[in-house]
With several copies, the nearest count.
Chain A
Amino acid sequence: MSSSIVNLVYLFAGVLFILGIKGLTKPATAVRGNMLSATGMLIAVVITLLNSEIVNFTYIIAGVLFGGVVGAFMALRIQMTSMPQMVALLNGFGGGASLTIASAEYFSVLNIDAHTFADLLQPVALGADAFGTGAEGQVTLVSIGLTILIGAVTLTGSLVAFAKLQGLVKKNFGLPGGPIGNGLLLIGGLVALGCMIANPSQAVTVLALIALALLLGLFLVLPIGGADMPVVIALLNSYSGLAAALAGFILGNTVLIVAGSLVGTSGLILTKIMCVAMNRSLGNVLFGKMAAAGEAVDADEIYAGKVTSAQPDEVAMMLEVAKRVVIVPGYGMAMAQAQHAVRELADSMESKGIEVEYGIHPVAGRMPGHMNVLLAEAEVPYDNLVEMDRINPTFEDTDVVIVIGANDVTNPMARDAEGSPIYGMPILNVDKAKNVVVIKRSLSPGFAGLPNPLFAMDHTLMVYGDGKKAVLEMTTALNQS
């Protein structure tokens, strides 16, 4: 197989990735886009396997079989509500792949026949141009080092993110000194990288780089709160793309560069979208805590004596006379797995001639588009899912808003209370509706840890209970009436 044909095929695979992402810009073409992208991957893999440099298929077959089974099992078994964890985990594996590839590339040049760990630490006699002549050798070395650094940070960082989202790690703790400790780790890593470039024959520099980078990933993410994980994942996703692009520079491979850059920009843009929607800077997410409330807000003072609660059947009576209802889902709907119940409630209302729409906040839930995926699972047509900017003007003409498991994204303090930590975050103005029904288990706060004055408003009714159960009861009551 001539190398130019291989390269042409790689270019073709790159085009398929581009077309795949283009497909993702519309729901109607998204499935096909994903298929195109997968086809590009298949083509790239097949042409690589036909490449004459590959002679030993043992490790490849073992790896593909093992990885394929694990990947397929995870993908087919995961519940839609656990999507954030899944993405975190996959992302970690991507980082791991970059890390191991770059290391393999390095050690294949060193050509150490190591049987014990100590063998690795022996310096090797290496020609000056082992990694390529002149500037090219430098670039290759820098790329290897950066790929290792980024890949390792992505690996451990994503695993921590996974553990936090899965509830395996609950505490947020970091190195003593916080960002300073991490800064020292980073500096250490960069020093190791520098030593490696200056003296590539010393494998110990690379081992140090790997170790420091793995630790860095760990301690970068451990201090960050579980709810901020989506931002972290998007950022790490972008890193893993960059690592792939860098690997492309090492191997002189166009498809790695194209695909890696696409992933890199995607992660960065999603990160930015989330930060804007939360009205926080990326620095604040990564290194800060939520800004301490200007004046501590006293939940009791806000709620005392002003909260009205109701039973699901009372709400059903209210729905009966409504013309237009908007459903606002949040993280609690995912927790309660209430998406199917919500769809049934909406169906039941629609069969009574009530106009029903869903108001979707860009950061409702725990990852971008989280609510859309859950409601799509429950077969809610995506035309009914209305974005914040378009639903907000309609609340004044809405008879009842049903807020299910959403909290922060409806908190009027974000709009009115200057000095509040979430002040300035754009919200769904559900309080402008004629009646508001809030379904949650208690008055306890959401992700931002703040009380919500919405719950104490005159036209708000609280329905306490698990989201799924409450909604099911409402539907039953509505159907019987």
Chain B
Amino acid sequence: MEILILLLALFVLSLFLGVELIVKVPPTLHTPLMSGTNAVSGITLVGALLAAGSDTSPMLVNVLGFLAVTFATINVIGGYLVTNRMLSMFKRK
């Protein structure tokens, strides 16, 4: 139970930190922000790997894990690449 509360504390603090950081992002960068955070949400890949790689679980779990890995990888690779493509176009005068 204590661990749960610590996780909750972490969640709450991250929300506050998120607000403070995101409101500082200028409109110019809002599109890259969307695709970039999209890539970050691909962190679920970590969970997907655990699900896909276990040997003790039934087939169904591995298949779901495979799907999860695929989805999350598209999200991560696609998100970071496209964000990088956009950002490297931004140039100062």
Direct A/B contact, Cβ within 8 angstroms: yes
Within 8 A of A (CB), among B9-23: 9-19, 21-23
The answer on a CB contact under 8 Å between A41 and B76 is yes
The answer on a CB contact under 8 Å between B1 and A369 is no
The answer on a CB contact under 8 Å between A105 and B51 is yes
The answer on a CB contact under 8 Å between A360 and B27 is yes
The answer on a CB contact under 8 Å between B31 and A48 is no
The answer on a CB contact under 8 Å between A64 and B5 is no
The answer on a CB contact under 8 Å between B88 and A112 is no
Given contacts A56-B53, A76-B81, A247-B44, contact A3 B11 (CB under 8 A): no
Q: A41: which of B40, B58, B88 is its contact (CB, 8 Å)?
A: B40
Stretch of A24-32, A165-173, A295-303, A319-327 lying at the B interface: A24-32
Chain B interface residue number, banded: 35 or more
Q: How far is the CA of A377 from the CA of B90 in the complex (A)?
A: 7
The answer on a CB contact under 8 Å between A67 and B50 is no
A104: interface (CB < 8 Å): yes
- Report A245 CB to chain B, min CB distance, Å: 6
Given contacts A60-B53, A373-B86, contact A252 B7 (CB under 8 A): yes
Interface size counted on chain A using CB atoms at 8 A: 127
Given contacts A104-B64, A139-B4, A265-B18, contact A25 B37 (CB under 8 A): no
A98 contacts across to B, CB distance below 8 A: 44
Within 8 A of B (CB), among A121-171: 134-136, 139
The answer on a CB contact under 8 Å between B68 and A101 is yes
- Report B46 CB to chain A, min CB distance, Å: 5
Q: A94: which of B38, B47, B63, B70 is its contact (CB, 8 Å)?
A: B38
Q: A267: which of B11, B37, B58, B82 is its contact (CB, 8 Å)?
A: B37
A266: interface (CB < 8 Å): yes
Q: How far is the CA of A10 from the CA of B79 in the complex (A)?
A: 20
The answer on a CB contact under 8 Å between A90 and B43 is no
A44: interface (CB < 8 Å): yes
Q: How far is the CA of A423 from the CA of B7 in the complex (A)?
A: 45
Residue-wise, chain A 41-85 has the 8 Å CB interface mask toward B (1 for contact) of 100110011010111110110111011101110111010100100
Q: B28: which of A31, A259, A382 is its contact (CB, 8 Å)?
A: A382
Q: How far is the CA of A136 from the CA of B3 in the complex (A)?
A: 9
A28 contacts across to B, CB distance below 8 A: 92
The answer on a CB contact under 8 Å between B87 and A94 is no
Q: A70: which of B25, B47, B74 is its contact (CB, 8 Å)?
A: B74
- Report B40 CB to chain A, min CB distance, Å: 5
A481: interface (CB < 8 Å): no
A246 nearest in chain B by CB position: B11
Q: How far is the CA of A17 from the CA of B49 in the complex (A)?
A: 19
Q: B50: which of A7, A51, A66, A260 is its contact (CB, 8 Å)?
A: A51
Can you list 29 A-B pairs, Cβ within 8 angstroms, ordered by A? A25-B26, A27-B26, A31-B87, A34-B84, A44-B46, A49-B53, A55-B53, A56-B52, A60-B53, A62-B70, A72-B77, A76-B85, A93-B74, A93-B75, A94-B72, A100-B65, A101-B51, A107-B57, A114-B60, A241-B37, A244-B44, A248-B11, A263-B41, A264-B18, A265-B18, A270-B22, A373-B89, A379-B89, A382-B92
* A-B pairs with lowest CB-CB distance, top 6: A67-B73, A63-B69, A265-B18, A369-B30, A54-B53, A71-B77
Could you tell me which A residues sit within 8 Å of B by CB distance? 3-4, 7-8, 10-11, 14-15, 17-18, 20-22, 24-28, 30-31, 33-35, 37-38, 41, 44-45, 48-49, 51, 53-57, 59-60, 62-64, 66-68, 70-72, 74-76, 78, 80, 83, 86-87, 90-91, 93-94, 96-98, 100-101, 103-105, 107-108, 111-114, 120, 134-136, 139, 233-234, 237, 240-241, 243-245, 247-267, 269-270, 273, 360, 362, 367-370, 372-373, 376-377, 379, 381-385, 387
